Structure 1
């Protein structure tokens, strides 16, 4: 497996949101080809209405990411 190239992050004067890490996560997923690997290892949907395994798993990743941000705000406010 070849090493992952560094992800370039630039300074910005724009206001940052609590979802600032999502583009970095998505870029890492793209570079490591995680979606393709998930689809290869998990079964395909059995009906024409099923969703790809990678879409399901990445949705869970984003939910966990969002939840961890919320949990961090709860801890810092108490």
Structure 2
């Protein structure tokens, strides 16, 4: 019986590869964030410091699906 996902915000801490980044949750825990195929256009915005909205299951807090970028990372130009 599927349960509703947990929706929260996180901050990108480090880029990992084309579809994954490391995220810091609000409680300080580091988790692996990934993009579904439909979310691939968001990839250029996933730089360290970006704030994102994620969905997680209550069974596995080790990974999270990135569903939206709430705030892009600050650039030092």
Q: Which has the larger radius of gyration?
A: 1
TM-score when scaled to structure 2?
Answer: 0.21
Bigger relative CO (Cα 8 Å, ≥ 6 apart): 2
Decide which structure has greater strand share: 2
Decide which structure has greater helix share: 1
